[in-house]
């Protein structure tokens, strides 16, 4: 882990000064009339890949151990050691992919330590996260078992920082090769006959920091080399993801794009890597004091939401660097770490990154998704950090009772699930008030995005009211298709800091939104203060 600064400045001369047609933030204009969200239902844009709703599970704190994995002897109901309740909750979200084993842990991880009989597996020190001893009881087979139980796809993150090319090459062979190759035979010895499918493979992580403290050009050369040996075995076609920039480090993205300029992989895809990652975390304070998850002022509320909106600007600017090298958008941008990062809950291990999750986290998530939908043409994948008990989690589990709580963020993922693989629709905001600035950045107090499922004849509209204390009435100005029905759902709580606990698991939970009326332009919706809502439209 490396300390990072939350600057808003761009890096050096490589910072794009223009983003062409890419929006840096929600498109908002002024109006004399009521607040409106204008949606052309007959102008579908890029497909919103389901992989934008991806997840991340690192060997960190209680994410794997206690979160996903309790071992076969646990009293907590499990399948081969994997918690049944966690699997059921995540299956309901239709999570499209899961990244593992890190994060910073990935560049310390040697996969051979995590195969074979558990009692024979060597131990290691998890130096990034609490300096605890890792017994490697959750390894490759356990992870792929979890992937199968979840009905999701694997994103395995390899080790460049302290691993070898051969180690990485052997891992993908072990995972995906069918015949009697040395690694396939080893996998069979360990009880798995059939190869697995691994569509995504990370070439190290945060190489500028915990992944080796490298310079951009040095890592770019290594990424080319390592990715070359992550081979496609049989039918398994891998998207290789180079470890990308943090925040506004556009020079890093530029170096990676230059490294593959004009190169082609064997199958006509860009090569040797096909995607580049990006990491950005939202905090309300500086790195040294990120702010409390549950105790915050209105000022911190708005600052946090403003910083969440910045994620879209980062996507737009990194995408613009990529557009210059790759105008046909064959290289994917993978935002594989995003979300809130608060001070840990008092009394918990500072290395375990356990934090509560409030209505504020829910709106941070909804704002990210609105931005992701607007850049669906370049964004291939995004992974919130992290799924269980770490950072902006979907699920919190009690270390003593084992009780499971679904967080407000979980509910945003559930309410937005209908956007997966749908076509993005432009949702243009027209607001009667002057748009406020927070820390020099405009922050409209409404956010919206929409998508169309032409095959089903439905559209989904997501709406966020960022006001801490005012309700908001919005006209959905629906053009191009007739609307024959609607169903609206809202997520909010008694305060901006409302959150769920084992005692009050539904303090923040979705309920039907009844404040929806027909309007000459479409529908009129009233959102409570600090709320997120979705409106599903049936189209003629
Ligand atoms: O998600 C926690 C950590 O944040 C990851 O391990 C690392 O990649 C980033 O610094």
pLDDT at position 5, please?
Answer: 36
Residue 23 — pLDDT band, cuts 50, 70, 90? confident
- Do 346 and 441 lie in one domain? The reply is no
- Do 27 and 56 lie in one domain? The reply is no
Residues spanned by the domain of 518: 2-46+423-539
Instruction: Give the DSSP letter of residue 116.
Output: S
- Do 23 and 135 lie in one domain? The reply is no
Q: Decide if pLDDT at 2 tops 50.
A: no
Q: What is the pLDDT of residues 170-184, one digit of tens each?
A: 999 999 999 999 999
Rounded mean pLDDT, 131-152: 98
User: How many domains, in total, are found in the chain?
Assistant: 2
For residue 198, the tally of other CB atoms under 10 A from its CB is 22
Rounded mean pLDDT, 439-460: 94
Q: Decide if pLDDT at 161 tops 90.
A: yes
Residue 516: C-alpha distances to residues 152, 386, 451, 488 (Å): 35, 34, 19, 8
- Do 413 and 440 lie in one domain? The reply is no
pLDDT at position 6, please?
Answer: 34
Burial class (CB in 10 A: 0-12, 13-18, 19+), 26: buried
- Do 344 and 481 lie in one domain? The reply is no
Residue 266 — pLDDT band, cuts 50, 70, 90? low
Which residue minimizes the CA distance to atom 8 of ligand 1? Answer: 103
Instruction: Give the DSSP letter of residue 499.
Output: B
Distance CA 294, CA 286 (A): 17
Residue 243 — pLDDT band, cuts 50, 70, 90? very high
* Domain end call among 370, 392, 419: 419
What mean pLDDT, rounded, does the chain reach? Answer: 94
Rounded mean pLDDT, 14-22: 55
Which entry of 134, 153, 173, 206 is annotated as an active-site residue?
Answer: 206
Which residue minimizes the CA distance to atom 7 of ligand 1? Answer: 103
- The pTM for the full model equals 0.95
Q: Decide if pLDDT at 480 tops 80.
A: yes
CA 73–ligand 1 middle distance (angstroms): 30
Distance CA 539, CA 456 (A): 9
CA 431–ligand 1 middle distance (angstroms): 38
Distance CA 253, CA 216 (A): 8
Q: Read off the CATH number of the domain in which 504 is found.
A: 2.60.40.1180
Rounded mean pLDDT, 399-417: 97
Residue 441 — pLDDT band, cuts 50, 70, 90? confident
465: tokens are 């009211």
- Please report which residue ranges of 21-139 form alpha helices under DSSP H: 84-93
What ligand 1 atom has the least distance to the C-alpha of 353?
Answer: 2
Q: Confirm whether 206 is a catalytic residue.
A: yes
Distance CA 460, CA 488 (A): 10
pLDDT at position 435, please?
Answer: 86
Give the three-state DSSP class for 196: coil
Q: What is the pLDDT of residues 181-237, one digit of tens each?
A: 999 999 999 999 999 999 999 999 999 999 999 999 999 999 999 999 999 999 999
- Please report which residue ranges of 164-232 form alpha helices under DSSP H: 165-176, 182-189, 216-228
CA 385–ligand 1 middle distance (angstroms): 8
pLDDT at position 261, please?
Answer: 85
Q: What is the pLDDT of residues 88-119, one digit of tens each?
A: 999 999 999 999 999 999 999 999 999 999 99
Ligand 1 contact, 247 CB (< 6 A): no
The residue ranges of DSSP E strands in 108-250, in sequence order, are: 124-126, 132-134, 153-158, 200-203, 239-246
CA 263–ligand 1 middle distance (angstroms): 30
Distance CA 158, CA 168 (A): 6
Q: Decide if pLDDT at 7 tops 60.
A: no
Contacting residues for 199 by C-beta, under 8 A, at least 6 apart: 97, 153, 154, 155, 236, 237, 238, 239
CA 317–ligand 1 middle distance (angstroms): 22
Task: Give residue 220's region: left, alpha or beta (phi > 0; psi -120 to 50).
Answer: alpha
What ligand 1 atom has the least distance to the C-alpha of 391?
Answer: 1
Give the three-state DSSP class for 335: strand
Residue of 152, 51, 64, 154 lying closest to 105 (CA atoms): 64
Rounded mean pLDDT, 429-439: 89
Percent of the chain at pLDDT > 90 equals 89
Q: Could you identify the residue written with the tokens 């529908």?
A: 523
- Do 210 and 278 lie in one domain? The reply is yes
* Domain end call among 419, 448, 465: 419
What ligand 1 atom has the least distance to the C-alpha of 128?
Answer: 6
- Do 271 and 375 lie in one domain? The reply is yes
Q: Decide if pLDDT at 17 tops 70.
A: no
Question: Mutate which of 103, 203, 281 to test ligand 1's pocket (most atoms within 8 Å of Cβ)?
Answer: 103
Which residue minimizes the CA distance to atom 5 of ligand 1? Answer: 103
pLDDT at position 12, please?
Answer: 31
- Do 247 and 389 lie in one domain? The reply is yes
Please give the distance of CA 156 from its chain centroid, rounded to a whole number: 15
Q: Read off the CATH number of the domain in which 156 is found.
A: 3.20.20.80
Task: Give residue 20's region: left, alpha or beta (phi > 0; psi -120 to 50).
Answer: left
- Do 398 and 488 lie in one domain? The reply is no
CA 313–ligand 1 middle distance (angstroms): 21
* Domain end call among 398, 419, 440: 419
- Do 431 and 476 lie in one domain? The reply is yes
Contact, 419 vs 19, CB < 8 A?
no
- Do 315 and 405 lie in one domain? The reply is yes
What ligand 1 atom has the least distance to the C-alpha of 129?
Answer: 6
Q: Decide if pLDDT at 86 tops 80.
A: yes
Which residue minimizes the CA distance to atom 6 of ligand 1? Answer: 103
- Do 66 and 37 lie in one domain? The reply is no
Rounded mean pLDDT, 376-391: 97
């Amino acid at each position: 882990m490396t300390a990072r600064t939350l600057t808003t400045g761009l890096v050096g001369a490589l910072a794009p000064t223009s983003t062409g047609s890419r929006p840096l933030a929600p498109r908002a204009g002024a109006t004399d009339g009521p607040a409106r969200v204008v949606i052309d239902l007959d102008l579908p844009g890029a497909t919103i890949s389901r992989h934008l709703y991806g997840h991340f599970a690192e060997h960190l704190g209680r994410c794997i151990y206690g979160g996903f994995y309790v071992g076969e002897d646990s009293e907590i109901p499990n399948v081969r050691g994997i918690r049944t309740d966690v699997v059921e909750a995540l299956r309901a979200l239709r999570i499209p992919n899961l990244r593992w084993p890190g994060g910073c842990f990935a560049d310390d991880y040697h996969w051979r330590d995590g195969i074979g009989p558990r009692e024979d597996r060597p131990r290691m020190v998890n130096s990034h996260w609490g300096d605890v001893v890792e017994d490697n009881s959750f390894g490759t087979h356990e992870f792929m078992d979890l992937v199968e139980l979840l009905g999701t796809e694997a994103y395995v993150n390899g080790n460049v920082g302290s691993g070898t090319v051969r180690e990485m090459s052997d891992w993908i062979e072990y995972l995906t090769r069918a015949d009697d190759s040395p690694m396939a035979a080893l996998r069979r010895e360990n009880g798995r006959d059939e190869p697995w499918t691994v569509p995504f493979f990370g070439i190290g992580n945060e190489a500028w920091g915990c992944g080796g403290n490298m310079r951009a050009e040095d890592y770019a050369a290594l990424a080319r080399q390592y990715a070359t040996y992550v081979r496609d075995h049989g039918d398994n076609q891998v998207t290789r993801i180079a470890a990308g920039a943090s925040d506004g480090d556009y020079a890093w993205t530029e170096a990676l794009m230059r490294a593959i300029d004009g190169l082609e992989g064997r199958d006509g895809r860009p090569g040797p890597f096909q995607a580049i990652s990006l990491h950005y975390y939202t905090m309300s304070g500086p790195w040294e004091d990120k702010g409390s998850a549950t105790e915050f002022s209105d000022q911190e509320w708005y600052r946090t939401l403003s910083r969440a909106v910045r994620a879209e600007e980062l996507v737009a600017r990194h995408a613009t660097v990529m557009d210059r090298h790759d105008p046909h958008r064959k290289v994917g941008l993978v935002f594989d770490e995003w979300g809130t990062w608060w001070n840990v809950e008092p009394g918990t291990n500072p290395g375990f990154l356990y934090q509560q999750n409030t209505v504020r986290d829910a709106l941070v998530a909804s704002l990210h998704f609105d931005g992701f939908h607007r850049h669906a043409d370049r964004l291939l994948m995004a992974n919130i950090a992290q799924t269980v008990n770490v950072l902006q989690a979907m699920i919190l589990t009690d270390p003593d009772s084992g009780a499971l709580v679904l967080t407000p963020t979980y509910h945003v993922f559930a309410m937005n699930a209908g956007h997966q693989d749908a076509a993005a629709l432009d949702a243009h905001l027209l607001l009667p008030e002057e748009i406020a600035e927070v820390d020099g950045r405009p922050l409209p107090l409404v956010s919206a995005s929409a998508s169309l499922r032409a095959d089903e004849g439905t559209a989904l509209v997501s709406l966020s009211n960022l006001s801490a204390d005012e309700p908001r009435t919005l006209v959905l100005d629906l053009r191009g298709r007739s609307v024959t029905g609607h169903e609206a759902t809202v997520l909010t709580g008694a305060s901006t800091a409302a959150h769920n606990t084992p005692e009050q698991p539904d303090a923040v939970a979705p309920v039907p939104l009844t404040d929806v009326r027909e309007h000459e332009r479409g529908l009129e919706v009233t959102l409570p203060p600090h709320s997120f809502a979705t409106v599903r439209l049936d189209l003629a």
